[in-house]
Structure 1
Amino acid sequence: MTRIRYFAAAEEAAGRAEEHRSEGTLGELRAALASEYPGLGGILPRCAVLVDGERRDDDAPLAGVTTVDVLPPFAGG
């Protein structure tokens, strides 16, 4: 199982700071999250999604992955 961590607006939209999931690829994970959390689905395309600290394509396998971070765009100075 992969640990999914949500930050800022993504955490608010998902209603949780983290969870464990078992989707096979990053694309499958994105689709499942958008379906289960409609509010997250609205911002997910603009989020940086890091797989063990690196940006990856949707076909990236999640087997053996420890952590996926969902980071919405941040503003600030």
Structure 2
Amino acid sequence: MARVRYFAAAEEMAGRAEEHRDEPTLGHLRAALVSERPGLGGILPRCAVLVGGARVDDDTPLGADDLVDVLPPFAGG
């Protein structure tokens, strides 16, 4: 299962800091998160979603050892 970590507003909307998920691809993960947690639907499209520290396409497979970070846009300087 991939480990998903949520930061800032994404953590607030997800209701947790992290969880383990078993979706086969990043696209499936995105769809499942929006379906299960509608609050994420408003910010997830604007979030940087990194797999192993890199931006990847939605068709990227997710493995048991993958780390997925959901980072909302940050403001400030």
TM-score normalised over the length of structure 2: 0.96
Instruction: State how far apart, in whole Å, the 2-side matches of 1:29 and 1:6 are.
Output: 13
Corresponding letter in the other structure for 2:48: A
Distance 2:2 2:67 in 1: 6
Match of 1:13, SS state, is helix
Partner of 2:32: 32
Q: Superposed, which structure 2 residues align to 1:1-77 within 5 Å?
A: 1-77=1-77
Say which is worse superposed, 63-72 or 36-45, in terms of deviation.
63-72
Moved more, 55-64 or 1-10: 55-64
Kindly report the root-mean-square deviation, in angstroms, between the aligned alpha carbons of the 2 structures: 0.8
How many matched pairs?
A: 77
> How far is the alpha carbon of 1:41 from its aligned partner?
1.2
- Paired AA for residue 29 in structure 1: L
CA distance in 1, matches of 2:30, 2:37: 10
Q: Give unmatched runs, 5+ long, in structure 1.
A: none
Q: Using the aligned pairs only, state the percent identity.
A: 78
Given residue 54 of structure 2, which amino acid in structure 1 is its aligned partner?
A: E
Deviation readout 1:25-73 (Å, 9 max, x if unpaired): 0000000000111111111000000001000000000024420000000
